Amino acid sequence: MSCSQQTRGKKSFSCPQCGKSFLSKQGVTYHMKTHSGEKPYTCDECGKSFRQAEALKLHQKTHSGGKDHVCFDCGKAFVTLAVLKLHQRIHTGEKPYECSHCDKRFSQSGHLKAHERIHTGEKPYTCDQCGRSFTQAYGLKVHQQSHSEKRGYNCDQCGKQFARASYLKKHLKIHSEEKPHLCTLCGKSFIWLEDLKLHQKRHSSVKIHACFKCEKTFSSDHQLKQHQTIHTGEKP
C-alpha cells in the first residue's frame, strides 16, 4: 500500500501501517523505520546504528572529541547546544512536557511520547520476523536478540537448547536432586532461591499468637497486642 497525496500545504502523505500523516514522502519513509526498527547508518568505530545519516554524523563527533558545549553546573560536554539544553534540565528540574492523560511531566518530548503509549496502547515498533509489537524501540531491540542468538548449549538429558551456558547450568538443576536452598524453620529444601522465599512467607503468615481472652490467633505479636486493646479498653 503506497502513501496517498491529498491537498497541498497539509500533511498529505500517510503511513500505511498506522495512518499518521506527514508533509513529505521522505517523512513517511523515515517514520516507517520506527515500525521495522531499521537503522541503516552504522558507526565504524563503535557499531552503534542510526535511522538518519545526520544522526550518525553527530554521533561520530563524540569519537573525534568535538564536544564544544559545556555544562557550567557539572562540566559535562556535549556535541550540540540542543543536547546541552536537554541535559541542563537535570539541574534545573524543568519538565515542560505534560501528559494529556494524567498529570505526569517530562523533561524531553520523546519521554512524553513513550509514556503516552501506556494510555493509548500504541505499539509502533514491530518485529519483522514474528510480528510482535512493542511500545519502545529498546524493547524491540532486546526481543530481536532472541531471534539472532544461537542456542548452542544442549541439555544431554532432555535435549532442550539454551543460548548461554549459565542458562543450561540453571536448567540442569531440574534433572538433578540438588536442592541447595534450605528452609531453616522446617527443613524443606528447594531448587530455586525464589521458591524458598515464597515458602518462607507461608511461615510468616502462620498465626501462632493467641489471645488469652477469646483465643483468636494472629501472625505477629504486634497484631495480637493491637487486638487485645478491644478487651482492655486501652486507646493508645
Q: Which domain holds residue 173?
A: 153-204
The domain tally of the chain equals: 1
93-110: pLDDT as tens digits: 888 889 988 888 888 888
Q: What is the CATH number of the domain that holds 172?
A: 3.30.160.60
Q: Decide if 136 is inside a domain.
A: no
Does residue 187 lie in a domain region? yes
SS (H, E, C) 114-175: HHHHHHHCCCCEECCCCCCEECCHHHHHHHHHHHHCCCCEECCCCCCEECCHHHHHHHHHHH
62 in any annotated domain: no
Has residue 138 been placed in a domain? no
- For range 133-157, the mean pLDDT: 77
Q: Is 180 left (phi over 0), alpha (psi -120 to 50) or beta?
A: alpha
Q: What mean pLDDT do residues 75-81 have?
A: 80
- Determine, yes or no, domain membership for 169: yes
**In-domain check, residue 50:** no
Q: Please report whether residue 164 resides in a domain.
A: yes
pLDDT for 149 equals 63
Over residues 11-70, the pLDDT tens digits come to: 678 888 777 787 888 877 777 777 776 777 888 877 778 777 877 877 777 666 667 778
Give the tens place of pLDDT for each residue, 189-232.
887 777 777 777 666 655 566 777 777 777 666 777 888 888 77
Beta bridge partners of 98: 105
Does the residue 223 lie in any domain? no
Residue type at position 105: R
